[in-house]
Structure 1
Amino acid sequence: MQKLKDYTGSVYGGLGHLLYAYCQQKGIPVSIKLQQVQNLERFDFSLWRSLLIDMDQQLHTPALGLEIAEYVEPKHLGIIAYIALSCESLSEALYRYHDFHRLIYDGTTLQVEMLEDLIAIRWGELPIHLTTQTTDEIAIALMLQFLKHYMEFDDIHLHEVHFRHPAPKNQGLYEQYFRCKVRFSQPYAQVLLPVSELSKPIRQGDQTLQHLLMQQAQALLDKLPNSTQIDQRLQQAILLGLQKHQFQIEHIATQLNLSVRQLQRHLQQQGSTYQQRMQEIRFLLARQYLQNPHLSLHEIALLLGYSEQSAFQRAFKQWANLTPQQWRLHNPE
């Protein structure tokens, strides 16, 4: 059987900041172990588990993971929080969370499965002896608290929440928090959500990423003062498409109410191609992202639509004759 020390999964360093913020808010002494992870971009899941066990044993707080999750801010979740801000519905936000979940919480895999009129968002695979009730509940609570920041949470109705570990004391706290039936000793840790909820729109009040994208779009347009209206709309469509991983020419042409052939012909008249225009925008964005010291190369690669960091590094070397690391070193924020 796999031992905890052999598991190489990791969590986003912002989760260490979350625990630190929780301790400060509660007036709890910060342990040396927790202090040591504050400057880490990522740290082992085993250490995350150990930190939560220590806090659980020290505080004896019922439903500790749910209480910690109440203090989460977008910065604790990293780039995934800002990617979700460009989504338009609960369905899109959940699928983006699924796509990038391992960036923040690699302790468990995340699966999305349709079950007739329900959708199951499931934390599975990791052997139960490598988890605790607190690690499982904070994984679920963080996702829901994340949605609460950006969506009309009161209008989202969960069907059930399941946990794998035996029912703890104060079971009612869980049903009060999730506002639905909560079951324990189940095969999976999962949230069951009616399919009808997926069309719920995201709250439009705090679209941080949208503002950032529009600033980037304007910065790009300023570099091309003689561009046509189609070019301006094309650049904005590519910017948004990169965030949603919908940047293929077919999708972008549809956004512009053009056929693929019409878009290609427009670019050809300018002596360009869609791929060239895409790479120009990626290069400009890459330089902006590299000046942000809080973004890792992996996160930048994902923001630019690359599935692998190595592909981004090869492309950047072709653009700048420097690796991303070298460019970042010579161009600090």
Structure 2
Amino acid sequence: MSLNIPHPLAMTDAPSNLGVLSAAASGLDRFIGLQGGDAERVFGVAGIDPDLLLHPTLSLSLSNYCKVLEEAASQSGCDNFGLRYGQQFQPRALGLLGYVGLCSDSLEQALQNFARAFPYHQHDTLIRLVDIGECYRFDYQVRHPAILDKRQDAELTMGMALNLVRHVLGPSWAPRAVLLEHGKPEGWREHQAVFDAPILFDQPCNALLIPKRDLADQPMPERDPVLLMLVQDAIARLGGQQHQQCLVDQARGLVRDALPLGEPALEHIAAHLGMTPAALQRRLREQNLCFSALIDQVRRELALHYLRRRLPVSELAPLLGYSETSAFSRAFRRWFDTSPRQWLQTCSA
């Protein structure tokens, strides 16, 4: 069997993965076009170099990766973009991670190996296979502090896991249920059609419930223990160095958590980072930021996030650390040259 993957011994000097391997965006430019979007514009807004997508073992920023999926959904007008992209995303397209599953001995082992290898493929992410009795629960959740909007990524990843199982059990296989952490979208019936299973929204974590009896004694058609060992070694080499979150992202996450208590204090955030206030300010200046601008950025991102989830405008001020709704409204008008209610009306039109 001929597999088009890089040999692990050739990767000794390859750069470590600091986000998500670009194999996760395989065929994305073409798929954006098929959904009626402009791939060049989407990549530009998301800050992704299209040339990176030609090399499946290069690394993309996880923030940019989630953003490109959200932007593709918005720009193409396809609200279920991630769901559809995942539906056609076969295991081989995932590169090394896909072959970790395909080369495993059994389907049960494939899911276990896939979950163990995933942290090398993508950082700042929870992924695990949990034994809950009659079923395995395949959990997935992005835990990067700077990423708020991640619905498209969640639906894409659930589709990838679904396709790994259907690769063995056939296209009619269905999980016991699918759990998604985001709210119920307008096009939720398409989710039911894709997974052929009950879909539960607003859950603590994204997950597939997979009956154990479906996995019993199911060999992988392309199992290859020698190749599995080589592929596992190769992906570990790429992601082996522990990724340390960018200081700005850490500070952003701390600011976001502190906002419901009021205006975050520089001293408080610096102490949580184990730094002096002056050192934090210096590190922020290296990124062309100051502490007040960082707070402003986080508030702006959170405001849009909450409005897209249709939270009442009257509830947003305290969530963003403002003592009065009027202060939030003034800030929103400064950011977007419109009021929060007008912004909602425009988006709903």
**TM-score interval w.r.t. the shorter chain?**
0.5 to 0.7
1:98 aligns with 2:98: no
Matches within 5 A, 1:98-137: 98-106=115-123, 108-124=125-141, 126=143, 130-137=148-155
1:139 aligns with 2:157: yes
TM-score, normalised relative to structure 1: 0.56
Cα distance in 2 for partners of 1:86, 1:198 equals 16
Instruction: Name 2:214's counterpart in structure 1.
Output: 197
Give the 3 Å change call, closer, same or farther, for CA 46–153 of structure 1 in structure 2. Answer: same
Structure 2 letter corresponding to 1:153: G
Contact conserved, 2:178 with 2:207, CA < 8 A, in 1?
Answer: yes
Match of 1:29 among 26, 38, 55: 38
Match of 1:63 in 2: 80
Identity %: 16
- CA offset at residue 96 of structure 1? 1.0
Instruction: Note closer, same or farther for the CA distance 1:76–1:102 as it changes in structure 2 (3 Å cut).
Output: farther
Task: For residue 164 of structure 1, report the CA deviation from its aligned partner.
Answer: 0.9
Cα distance in 2 between the residues matched to 1:143 and 1:110: 11
- Alpha-carbon RMSD across the aligned residues, in angstroms, is 3.2
Specify whether residues 155 and 174 from structure 1 end up closer, same or farther in structure 2 by C-alpha distance, changes over 3 A only: closer
State yes or no: 1:173 paired with 2:190.
Answer: yes
2:27 is aligned, of 10, 15, 18, to: 18
Judge which range, 24-33 or 52-61, deviates more. Answer: 24-33
For the 8 Å contact 1:162–1:191, the answer to whether it is kept is: yes
- Residue type of the alignment partner of 1:147: V
Tell me if structure 2 keeps the 8 A contact 1:56–1:64. Answer: yes
Larger mean Cα displacement after TM superposition, 75-84 or 115-124: 75-84
After TM superposition, the structure 1 = structure 2 runs for residues 125-274 of structure 1, keeping only pairs within 5 Å, are: 126=143, 130-148=148-166, 150-154=167-171, 156-199=173-216, 201-202=218-219, 204=221, 207=222, 210=224, 240=225, 243=228
Alpha carbons of 1:189 and 1:73: their partners in 2 closer, same or farther (altered >3 Å)?
closer
Query: In structure 2, how many angstroms separate the alpha carbons of the residues matched to 1:182 and 1:47?
Result: 27
User: 1:38-76 CA distances to partner (integer Å, 9 max, x unpaired)?
Assistant: 245111100001101211111221321111123324453
Query: Which residue of structure 2 lines up, in the alignment, with residue 79 of structure 1?
Result: 96
Which residue of 235, 258, 264 maps to 1:299? 235
CA–CA distance in structure 2, aligned partners of residues 113 and 70 of structure 1: 24
Unpaired segments of 5 or more residues in structure 2? 1-16, 243-349
The alpha carbon displacement at 1:78 in A equals: 1.2
- Contact 1:124–1:189 (CA<8 Å) still a contact in 2? yes
SS, match of residue 38 in structure 1 = helix
Quick check: 2:83–2:155 contact (8 Å CA) kept in 1?
A: yes
Q: Distance in 1 between matches of 2:226 and 2:51?
A: 38
Instruction: Report the counterpart of residue 53 of structure 2 in structure 1.
Output: 38
Q: How many residues align?
A: 217
Higher RCO (CA 8 Å, separation ≥ 6 residues)? 2
Counterpart position of 1:248: none
Distance 1:109 1:9, change over 3 A: farther
Closer, same or farther: CA 99–177 of 1 in aligned 2, 3 Å: same
Match of 1:112, SS state, is strand
Distance, in Å, in 2 between the alignment partners of 1:157 and 1:140 is 12
TM-score scaled to structure 2, two decimals? 0.54
Q: Quote the offset at 1:27 in angstroms.
A: 5.9
Judge conservation of contact 1:298–1:308 (CA < 8 Å) in 2.
no
Does the Cα contact within 8 Å between 2:105 and 2:219 map onto a contact in 1?
Answer: yes
Q: Structure 1 stretches of 5 or more lacking a match?
A: 1-7, 211-239, 245-284, 286-294, 311-333
